[in-house]
Structures are given as structure tokens and as C-alpha cells.
Amino acid sequence: MTLIRFERSRRRKALLIANPKAGAANAGLALAPAVEALSGAGFETLAFTTCCRGDAFELSREYGGECERLVCIGGDGTVNEVVRGVMMLEKRPSIGYIPMGSTNDFAKALGLPKQRRKLIETAVAGEETPIDVGCFNGRHYACLASFGAFTDIGYTTDQSAKNVWGFMAYLGGGLSALANIKPIRVNVTVNGRTYSERLAFASVSNTPSIIGVINYNRKRKIDLNDGLFEVMLIRYPENALDLSRIAHALTTGDFGCDLMQVFVSDRVRFEPAEPVDWMLDGEHAEAWHEAEIRNVHSAIKMVLPKRKGSGSLLPKGV
């Protein structure tokens, strides 16, 4: 590999944050090549590996404002922390994402490649693209806020099963959770109307795939920068027939089932009868009596693949 040298005054600053425990613990395999690629592209890189939950948030908040590019290596939970940290900055770096989780819903929504080299190329030298983020009672998240049947799947589904079976492991866990959950009584206000429901699940997302179980893409393309959320409500199944109808809708992507409601909105409010535990991009949030969720339009810039035909994104020799 040819070393490309840049004068110190021409070098930009980058921050790299890697979660070594994400997915099958493969983040370390991308760490050195990513630093090398950043150097070859003219970046001075400050690199960290996380030790515990919250590290990526603190590192993003402390060092992100000094950098032009922040590269995140990890799963959806890691990128959630990075987005939270970046949103606290006045000057926000663009975010390159090298996914190393087990299902990587956010990476799929972004259209990121699967090959490691192409992921690194994109994160280092791709096209900066604005996207929306969510704000949950003042706390930002990348793509998904949810409660109910599927919210704990990321923790309760065995990691080895997720690594081997991917979507099917999530689907099996999701249907099992749906069959056992208690009804959640909640008032939901969306698009100026309030609905009183007994729910098994609710989500407010900016991604076409939710926890490997719900897939909007079969019916329409989801725009990550339209200022709107996809809001999914699944009513509590009263019997085995209801449960089978929900399962059929989830596996086929046909959400016309009367046990489901799908909305598009920039804001939604939940008022449950009792406090509800939420998950934000797979990370636990405390129980809330009320939740106000709003879309923050074009809040951050993600580094995404350039259009076809542009050749390698990195300089020759990298």
C-alpha cells in the first residue's frame, strides 16, 4: 500500500469509536483498516474502543465537536449513543457508520454495503447526506422508539442464534413475545386525533425495517429525510385467531389488518394508563407516564455510498 502524505495544515480531524462487543465481536477487524483508510484520505484520527454502555455517547459529546468526521463501528445501540452525543454539539461532524451488529436495521435503512472494505470506503469518503432523527422527551435517537411485544428481543434473543439465523431468530422471538404480553392501555395522539387503544406494541421509526420483524419496504420506500415518522400500532390479540392474523401480516408485510394501524406524522404523543418501558434503538429508556416524540428534520449528516459509476471512494493506494 502506498502511503499518501498530506501537509499538517491540510489534514482534517476524525474521531473513530468502536464497540468491540457488537454482534459477533468483529468490530476489531474493521478498526485498523478504518484508521488506515482515514489516514490515507487526509484525516488525523483519534480512535477509541468502548468499555461499557454510555461510552460512545460520552466520547461523541466530548470530542465530536473538534472533528469533521466521526466513524462509528458497532451495532444500532452504538450508533444510537453516537447520534445522541452529536446532537448535543453546536458543530456536528458527519457520521460514517460501519455496522457490526447482528441485524443492523439502521444500516439497511441507510443502504450501506455489506462488504467490510466497501463499508470502510463509504464511511471514510462517501457522500454526506442529511437525515432526520427522533427526539423522545428531549432525548435523541437514531431510528426507532418502541414499547411492547418486540422491545426486548435484542436482549432476550440468544446472541449466537441472532448471529446464525438473523431475521428468523428475531421473528421467532417476536411472535413468542406477542403471544405472552399483557395489554397496554394507552391514548395515542397523532395527526390531531386521539385514539384509545389496548396495544401489544407501538413504534415510532425512521427506518423501513423494525427489529428484524416489521418491514415497510414491501409496500413503499421509506424516506429518511422527509421530516416524517412511520408510526405502527398493533392492537392486543384477544385470541389465537387474532394472533395468527398479526403473524401473517408481519411475515407478508400486508399491514391492512384491522389489528394494526400505520400513520405517517412528524409528531406523536403517548399517554399510557401506567408507566411504560421504552426502547430507543435497542437501548432501554426509563418508564414514562407520557411520551412526546417529534421528528428533527435534517438533524445530522450520515456518510452514505456515492452514486454508481464513481469508482473507488478512496485515493489510489489506500
Determine the pLDDT at residue 45: 95
Q: Are 58 and 37 in contact (CB under 8 A)?
A: no
Tell me if domain 8-132+299-304 and domain 144-297 are identical in fold: no
> Position of cell 453516537?
82
Q: Is the pTM of this model over 0.75?
A: yes
Which contiguous run of DSSP H or E holds residue 15? strand 12-18
Determine the pLDDT at residue 157: 46
Determine the pLDDT at residue 242: 87
Determine the pLDDT at residue 151: 64
What are 24-78's pLDDT values in tens digits? 667 778 899 999 999 999 999 999 999 998 999 999 999 999 999 999 999 888 9
Q: What is the CA radius of gyration of the chain?
A: 20
Task: Map out the domains of the chain as residue ranges.
Answer: 8-132+299-304, 144-297
Determine the pLDDT at residue 108: 85
Strand partners, 194: 189
Rounded CA gap, 185 and 270, in Å? 10
Cell of 207: 427506518
Q: Are 96 and 303 in contact (CB under 8 A)?
A: yes
Q: Which parts of the chain sit beneath pLDDT 70? A: 1-10, 23-25, 102-103, 150-180, 211-213, 217-220, 307-318
Strand partners, 265: 229
DSSP 271-305: EESS-EEEEETTEEEEEES-EEEEEEEEEEEEEEP
- H, E, C per residue of 73-113: EECHHHHHHHHHHHCCCCCCCEEEEEECCCCCHHHHHHCCC
Determine the pLDDT at residue 249: 84
Rounded CA gap, 275 and 291, in Å? 10
| Alpha helices for the chain (secondary structure H) | 27-40, 55-63, 76-86, 105-110, 116-125, 153-156, 159-165, 167-180, 240-252
CATH fold group of domain 144-297: Tumour Suppressor Smad4 (2.60.200)
Cell of 233: 400500532
Tally of residues, the chain: 318
Q: Are 241 and 175 in contact (CB under 8 A)?
A: no
Question: Each residue of 24-48: b (16+ CB within 10 Å) or e?
Answer: eeebeebbebbbbbbbbbbbebbbb
Which contiguous run of DSSP H or E holds residue 216? none
| Alpha helices for 181-266 (secondary structure H) | 240-252
Burial class (CB in 10 A: 0-12, 13-18, 19+), 73: buried
For the chain, what percentages of helix, strand and coil (3-state, to nearest 5) are there? 30, 35, 35
Determine the pLDDT at residue 313: 47
Rounded CA gap, 228 and 308, in Å? 27
CATH fold group of domain 8-132+299-304: Rossmann fold (3.40.50)
Rounded CA gap, 226 and 221, in Å? 12
Determine the pLDDT at residue 216: 78
Determine the pLDDT at residue 165: 38
